[in-house]
Amino acid sequence: MVVQVPHPTIARDHCLAPARSVEGHAPSVDAPSGGISSKYGRLFPRVAPFTADEEFLIRLGGSQGPCDGGLFAGAGDDAHVAAGWPLFGQFIAHDITADRSLLLQHAEADHLANFRTPRANLECLYGDGPVGNPFLYDRGDPAKLLIGTNDQGAPGDLPRNAQGIALVGDPRNDVHLFVSQLHLAMLKTHNLLVDRLREDGEPEAELFESARRANTWHYQWVIVNDFLPTVVGPELLAELLAEGPRWYHPEGPTYIPLEFADAAYRYGHSQIRHSYRLQAGGPELPLFPDLLGFQPVPANRRVDWTQLFAFPGHPAPQPSKKIDGRLARSLIELPMAITGEVEVAAYHSLAVRDLQRGQAYGLPSGETLSRALGIQPLVADETGLGDLGWEGETPLWYYLLKEAEVRSDGERLGPLGGRIVAEVLLGIIDRDPESYRAVKLDWRPTLPAARPGSFNVTDLLAAGESTGARPH
């Protein structure tokens, strides 16, 4: 006689824990809590480095140089990509990389520490958890993350101390308004998941971990199925999902390649608009200094995400700028609150700083790397450096921006930059034993979607607002 055993009721947002669901997968043991860090590495260690004098890097990246995009008056500057995507990309960058070494002291790249785990695991949100970082959590309900209030008493800001300093797992997530509001949205989504799991009977002892896992899996899903197709194109992503990576095969612990962190993934700097509209009918403001962070966010600076992402049923959002090697003037003239005191005025330029990082790390030129990998390199007329009197090859970061402009009309990364970004982001998710792709490849998002069966970034952002999240 066969005895029918009733199946336990599973909470709708429950995501199976690795230790309980997949043989051979164990919970994370390499998170950089307690001061432990991971290391950066080189994706192409045998390719010769690019070198140039400091004067050339400053002329290329400084004010009035090729990287200075001014105020973007031309009609051809707008891409078809929504303006929110490079901002979401910055949030991901803060989640997976943190280099705290000084800008001009990067020569020992092989010893450079990454103060983030090389995982898309929302470490910037959760820190060391309710026990390790209790100031991030609601004292009355420790399964929930703390949310601050704005000047109207609404839950519209990060939690802050008496001096206005954000209480977050990564202070960079308060550097400007958009990244702080993205962080806030993820706080709210976590708390929504806590409420939903609690309603569905999830044991209190497991509530925080279950909500953290569900929030992280939804975030990873958006990276794989929405962000990457936008950044590198659906064809390249489909190839990687079917065939796996060509180049990113860590032999030991997972690492973030310098070619990714300090060249290819800095493509978003060229997508930043000169100015942004925060709310329908509102004024357009430059990112810096107008939207500088590190201070409380009033209600009139609340970000309406329909202005930055394509929400169903809403007017088209503001577009990002095309990727073309030019940066908004506000990034060429970064405020001192971000750069600190500098000895040379050109060091206020983000482009100069990007170029310096690439050279300090010994990254190759774009042409050399392309040839080494069997990709047709750009020619001198396409990189456009002849106007500076430069007859050499092109710094990798700038090359990948020009590759995107020439090969992809500035809408997405080109063949070299796209493959580096896609292989690394997909690779760190696939190699994470706690990710949805490692634990349950057929998992699908459980939060509501505007278009059933097609969960994307707009659904993730809308989730936390669906219950009128309250401050804690």
Domain membership of residue 10 (yes or no) is no
Instruction: Determine the average pLDDT of the residues in 364-386.
Output: 97
- Position 111 scores a pLDDT of 73
Q: Could you tell me the pLDDT band of residue 71, with boundaries at 50, 70 and 90?
A: confident
pLDDT of residue 104 exceeding 90, the answer is no
Q: How far apart are CA 397 and CA 65, in angstroms?
A: 15
Q: How far apart are CA 230 and CA 224, in angstroms?
A: 10
Percent of the chain past pLDDT 90, that is, above it, reads 84
Domain membership of residue 38 (yes or no) is yes
Domain membership of residue 11 (yes or no) is no
pLDDT of residue 34 exceeding 70, the answer is no
- Taking the model in full, what pTM does it have? 0.92
pLDDT of residue 19 exceeding 60, the answer is no
Q: How far apart are CA 292 and CA 120, in angstroms?
A: 26
- Position 44 scores a pLDDT of 97
pLDDT of residue 29 exceeding 60, the answer is no
- Lowest mean per-residue pLDDT among 27-41, 144-158, 223-237, 276-290: 27-41
Of the two residues 392 and 4, the one the predictor is more confident about is 392
- Position 6 scores a pLDDT of 40
pLDDT of residue 379 exceeding 90, the answer is yes
> Using CA atoms in the order 331, 332, 337, 339, what is the torsion angle rounded to 10 degrees?
110
Alpha helices in 324-447 (DSSP H): 329-332, 336-339, 350-360, 366-372, 380-383, 396-408, 415-430, 436-439
Q: How far apart are CA 96 and CA 102, in angstroms?
A: 19
394-410 burial, b for 16+ CB within 10 Å, e for fewer?
bbbbbbbbbbbbbbbeb
CB count within 10 Å of CB 201 equals 11
pLDDT of residue 469 exceeding 60, the answer is no
pLDDT of residue 139 exceeding 60, the answer is yes
Q: Among 215, 219, 223, which residue's Cα sits nearest to residue 145?
A: 215
Q: For 60, left (φ over 0), alpha (ψ -120 to 50), or beta?
A: alpha
CATH number at residue 310: 1.10.640.10
Domain membership of residue 13 (yes or no) is no
| Counted domains in the chain | 1
Residue 143's H or E segment, with its range, is strand 141-145
Instruction: Determine the average pLDDT of the residues in 369-384.
Output: 97
State the residue range of the domain holding 92. 18-463
Domain membership of residue 364 (yes or no) is yes
Domain membership of residue 228 (yes or no) is yes
Treating both helix axes as pointing N-terminal to C-terminal, what angle do 350-360 and 396-408 enclose, rounded to 10 degrees? 120
Q: For 340, left (φ over 0), alpha (ψ -120 to 50), or beta?
A: left
CB count within 10 Å of CB 325 equals 26
Give the total residue count for the chain. Answer: 472
Q: How far apart are CA 25 and CA 111, in angstroms?
A: 29
DSSP 70-84: TT--SGGGEEEEETT
Instruction: Determine the average pLDDT of the residues in 232-252.
Output: 97
Domain membership of residue 6 (yes or no) is no
CA-based radius of gyration for the chain: 22
Q: How far apart are CA 357 and CA 196, in angstroms?
A: 45
Domain membership of residue 146 (yes or no) is yes
pLDDT of residue 2 exceeding 80, the answer is no
Structure tokens at 258: 């310098």
Q: Among 278, 235, 241, which residue's Cα sits nearest to residue 437?
A: 241
